[in-house]
């Protein structure tokens, strides 16, 4: 890899995380989860992946394979606010696709690829203010349809209430 | 403090009882994710502030969910000598009058859902008290009628963050008994005689699986709890962990001792932050009390449990993929044999069971296999927890004896379709299961009967569909899901599902020629018969069952003049004429 190295502070943090996890089952997942969680843009830059591979003695291809296999990991910077729409069965039967379409329209986002293939979506607005994601299921099915806005769960959402949430974020400190 | 003998055990039990049924009123707030999503935290703080302001002598505790998720926030109020009353849809501004009523020894009738006079935790029996004839008993409420809470015995009642309360209702007694008796083979015989079957979906006999691992010889063996509940529409495991994490731990520690394993791993979804948090707490507490770690209960047995958070891959529910994931690889399955019991995590013998399977262990050990087989059907004993969701009036978690007919779930417990609409089908088993039409609702819900209809029990998701739901769209939805979750290792699943999705897309936008029904059927069977793992083998089920039971819906959406274009675009809220014709 030709990516540049992470800065010393970042390196120190990653070293600590690795020390905590190494040698235990599920170590690589744990390391990637923790490192991504601390990044201000909630993603794993390539140089960080490279550094983790070197430090843990894991083949670079395997680290990249894991980082791209699991839905939780992002290789692109995420928006400051995340809106996550549940695409579980209960939410689907209660209209979550319409919510997703509406939200994309509202934020001016378009997904590439075929129409309707809304699987594992993650889209960020150009100003990096909003990221729209989908999740397979939050396990909040009794509250369907469910939307998570900045890690708070909202149940029985409809297009109006979703729009109100978005407006509220937009008016918050002009961010 | 570490529990080393029966004296220490009883001390912890007494301390727990003093909190669970104290000499003063107790108020417990349902703080599962379903509760907090409905404002339970605000209610909790309102109670805390008001109790403080009044200088009232009352116990306040968070608990998990009692099951009726649609009526959250739920609050249990109890006065010594009186029944426990479960209040529903409690808001912060109700707090004052609830406390007034509690002090005046009367129930808050307009909020009351039901009362509990006695509760059988199966590992213990608690008598709350009698009275309040105007409030229905819990099992008289339609939603709870017929339910038998073995797995959910403590959920919504006991504080999940407090090991002492778990011990108060008989927790860790089964473990104590197993360690004192020191006869692992007898325990395995008990599990076998109880005919406990894996609750993750496949329904393999747990006792047999345990025996395999017990007999395997190795310097190190692992046991794993599969809490990677990825089925969309199912959340039993989340509630089981959030409401009663110690029940899972106890099952695993017993399993570890009996199978000769010293390491336990819980692989839990990262999408369930509260469940992860509660498990961390529970493991810490169990270690502190000497129920985990070295020399458990002073009996010379060492066992540790680690938590690993999954990172959002449905295929990791498949046991070999889960193991690959734990080994720091992408979650891709391998062909069995070798089975994990022979060669699992890091090449060592490994046992994997679902959360609910583990939660059944302690009651079976306490009450014996004969008691367990009294519930359920001859081939499938015990109960199963289902998440009853979708277009049904009452949604929530339901624990019913296996073999209960489907109609009981939909019409008695669920009280029929939403807003009086006609129920059309029930989808069981998530993306691996199938749709069962309304005219087959007499089917008993057990492993064999559902398989006969082309569906599966799965982990217990039950999604109700009504006349507004287009079954072709439902089939397409599931293929879209498995298509995106396919790990890509084997060709039938990777390429077949992609092809299948394209064909179903053609159906939903009305461009499919009628002949593709046959091709779709053939493709489905091919994927089912030739895929490497459970994901691919079961992925065509939703399509094959909808084609079998709702063929007419495919027919009107295909062929010349197909009118389905609209139903693809307007579904599901604005049923076009075409959708109405589907029913």
Give the ipTM: 0.90
What is the C-alpha to C-alpha distance for residues B200 and B365, in angstroms, rounded to an integer?
Answer: 20
- Is there a contact between A26 and B505 if contact means CB atoms under 8 Å apart? no
Q: Counting every residue, how long is chain B?
A: 583
pLDDT at position B560, please? 53
Mean pLDDT value across residues A125-130: 92
Q: Interhelix angle for B95-103 vs B40-54, to 10°?
A: 50
Question: Closest Cα to residue B176, out of B162, B165, B185, B187?
Answer: B187
Please state whether B260 falls in left (phi above 0), alpha (psi between -120 and 50) or beta: left
Give the span between the Cα atoms of B422 and B467, in whole angstroms.
6
Report residues of chain B scoring pLDDT below 70: 514-515, 557-583
| pLDDT computed for residue A121 by the predictor | 83
Reference B264, options B306, B321, B218; nearest CA is B306
Separation in Å, CA of A109 to nearest CA in chain B: 19
Mean of pLDDT over chain A = 88
B410 phi and psi, to 5 degrees? -75, -45
Using alpha carbons, select from B198, B126, B210, B186 the residue that is nearest to residue B360. B198
Distance from CA of B444 to the nearest CA of A (A): 22
Q: How confident is the model at residue A119 (pLDDT cuts 50, 70, 90)?
A: low
Determine which of B271, B307, B350, B488 to mutate to test the interface with A (most A C-beta atoms within 10 Å): B271
- The answer to whether B343 and B333 have CB atoms below 8 angstroms apart is no
Output the pLDDT for position B564: 43
Interface test with B, best of A20, A24, A25 (most B CBs within 10 A): A25
Cβ-defined contact of A141 to B233 (cutoff 8 Å): yes
CB contact under 8 A, B36 and A72: no
What the block records as the tokens of B429 is: 């088993």
Tokens (6 digits) for B366: 């306490």
Residues from chain B contacting residue A116 (CB–CB below 8 Å):
480, 505, 508
pLDDT at B497: 97
pLDDT in tens, B402-450: 999 999 999 999 999 998 899 999 999 989 999 999 999 999 999 999 9
**Phi, psi of B415, rounded to the nearest 5 degrees:** 55, 40
Given this model, what pLDDT does residue B557 score?
A: 66
DSSP B65: -
Across the interface, of B37, B230, B483, the residue whose CB is closest to A140 is: B37
Contacts of B328 in chain A (CB under 8 A): 26-29, 58, 62, 66
Of the candidates B70, B311, B572, the beta carbon closest to that of A70 is on B311
B114: alpha, beta or left? (left if phi > 0; alpha if psi -120 to 50): beta
Whether residues A89 and B328 touch (CB distance < 8 A) is answered with no
User: Which residue in chain B is spatially nearest to A119 when comparing CA positions?
Assistant: B484
Cis preceding-peptide flag for B572 (omega within 30 of 0): yes
Cross-chain residue pair A94–B391, CB shorter than 8 Å? yes
Q: Give the count of Cβ contacts less than 8 A between chain A and B.
A: 167
B87: enclosing H helix or E strand: strand B84-87
CB contact under 8 Å between A120 and B311, yes or no, is no
Q: Tell me what percent of the residues of chain B surpass a pLDDT of 90.
A: 84
CA pair distance B363, B381, nearest whole angstrom = 13
Closest CA to A135 of A76, A89, A81, A79: A89
* Per-residue pLDDT at A48 exceeds 90: yes
Instruction: Provide the whole-model pTM.
Output: 0.93
């Amino acid at each position: 890899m030709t990516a540049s190295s992470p800065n010393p502070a970042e390196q120190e943090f990653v070293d600590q995380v690795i020390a905590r996890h190494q040698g235990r089952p599920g170590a690589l997942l744990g390391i990637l989860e923790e490192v991504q969680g601390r990044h201000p843009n909630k993603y794993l830059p390539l140089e960080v992946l490279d550094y983790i591979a070197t430090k843990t003695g894991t083949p670079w291809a395997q680290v990249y394979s894991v980082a791209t296999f699991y839905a939780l990991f992002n290789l692109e910077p995420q928006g400051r606010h995340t809106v996550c729409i549940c695409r579980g069965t209960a939410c689907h039967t209660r209209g979550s696709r319409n919510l997703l379409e509406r939200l994309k329209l509202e934020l001016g986002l378009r997904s590439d690829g075929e129409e309707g293939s809304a699987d594992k979506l993650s889209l960020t607005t150009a100003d990096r203010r909003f990221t729209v994601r989908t999740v397979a299921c939050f396990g909040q099915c009794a509250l369907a349809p469910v939307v998570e806005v900045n890690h708070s769960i909202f149940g029985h959402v409809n297009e109006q209430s979703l729009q109100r949430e978005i407006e509220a974020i937009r008016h918050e400190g002009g961010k | 403090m570490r529990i080393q003998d029966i004296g220490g055990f009883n001390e912890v039990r007494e301390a727990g009882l003093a909190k669970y049924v104290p000499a003063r009123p107790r108020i417990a707030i349902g703080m599962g994710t379903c509760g907090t999503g409905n404002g339970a935290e605000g209610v909790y703080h309102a109670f805390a502030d008001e109790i403080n302001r009044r200088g009232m002598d009352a116990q306040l505790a968070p608990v998990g969910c009692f099951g009726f998720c649609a009526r959250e926030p739920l609050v249990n109020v109890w006065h010594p000598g009186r029944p426990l009353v479960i209040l529903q849809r409690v808001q912060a501004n109700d707090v004052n009058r609830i406390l007034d009523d509690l002090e005046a020894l009367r129930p808050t009738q307009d909020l009351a859902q039901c009362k509990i006079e006695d509760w059988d935790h199966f590992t213990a029996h608690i008598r709350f008290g009698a009275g309040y004839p105007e409030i229905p008993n819990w099992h008289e409420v339609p939603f709870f009628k017929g339910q038998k809470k073995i797995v959910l015995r403590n959920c919504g009642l006991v504080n999940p963050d407090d090991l002492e309360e778990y011990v108060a209702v008989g927790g860790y007694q089964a473990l104590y008994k197993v360690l004192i008796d020191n006869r692992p083979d007898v325990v395995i015989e008990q599990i076998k005689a109880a005919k406990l079957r894996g609750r993750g979906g496949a329904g393999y006999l747990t006792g047999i699986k345990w025996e395999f691992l017990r007999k395997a010889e190795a310097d190190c063996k692992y046991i794993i709890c599969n809490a990677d509940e990825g089925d969309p529409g199912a959340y039993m495991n989340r509630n089981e962990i959030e409401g009663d994490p110690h029940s899972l731990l106890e099952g695993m520690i017993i399993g570890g001792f009996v199978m000769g394993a010293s390491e336990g791993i819980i692989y839990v979804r990262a999408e369930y932050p509260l469940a992860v948090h509660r498990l961390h707490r529970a493991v810490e507490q169990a270690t502190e009390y000497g129920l985990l770690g070295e020399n458990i209960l002073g009996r010379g047995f060492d066992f540790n449990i680690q938590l690993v958070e999954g990172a959002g891959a449905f295929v990791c529910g498949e046991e070999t993929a889960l193991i690959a994931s734990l080994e720091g690889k992408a979650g891709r399955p391998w062909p069995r044999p070798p089975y994990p019991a022979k060669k699992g995590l890091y090449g060592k013998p490994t046992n994997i069971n679902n959360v609910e399977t583990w939660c059944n262990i302690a009651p079976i050990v306490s009450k014996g296999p004969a008691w367990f087989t009294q519930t359920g059907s001859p081939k499938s004993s015990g109960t199963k927890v289902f998440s009853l969701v979708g277009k049904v009036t009452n949604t929530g978690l339901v624990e019913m004896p296996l073999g209960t007919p489907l109609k009981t779930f939909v019409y008695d417990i669920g009280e029929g379709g939403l807003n009086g609409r006609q129920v059309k089908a029930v989808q069981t088993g998530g993306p691996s299961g199938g749709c069962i039409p309304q005219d087959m609702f007499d089917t008993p819900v057990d492993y064999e009967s559902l398989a006969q209809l082309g569906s599966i029990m799965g982990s217990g998701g039950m999604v109700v569909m009504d006349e507004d739901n287009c079954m072709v769209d439902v089939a397409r939805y599931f293929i879209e899901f498995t298509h995106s979750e396919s790990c890509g290792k084997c060709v039938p699943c990777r390429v077949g599902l992609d092809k299948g999705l394209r064909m179903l897309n053609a159906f939903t936008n009305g461009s499919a020629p009628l002949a593709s029904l046959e091709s779709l059927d053939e493709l489905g069977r091919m994927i089912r018969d030739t895929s490497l793992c459970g994901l691919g083998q079961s992925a065509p089920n939703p399509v094959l069952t909808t084609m079998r039971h709702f063929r007419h819906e495919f027919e009107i959406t295909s062929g010349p003049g197909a009118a389905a274009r609209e139903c693809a675009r307007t579904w599901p809220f604005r049923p076009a004429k075409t959708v109405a014709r589907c029913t």
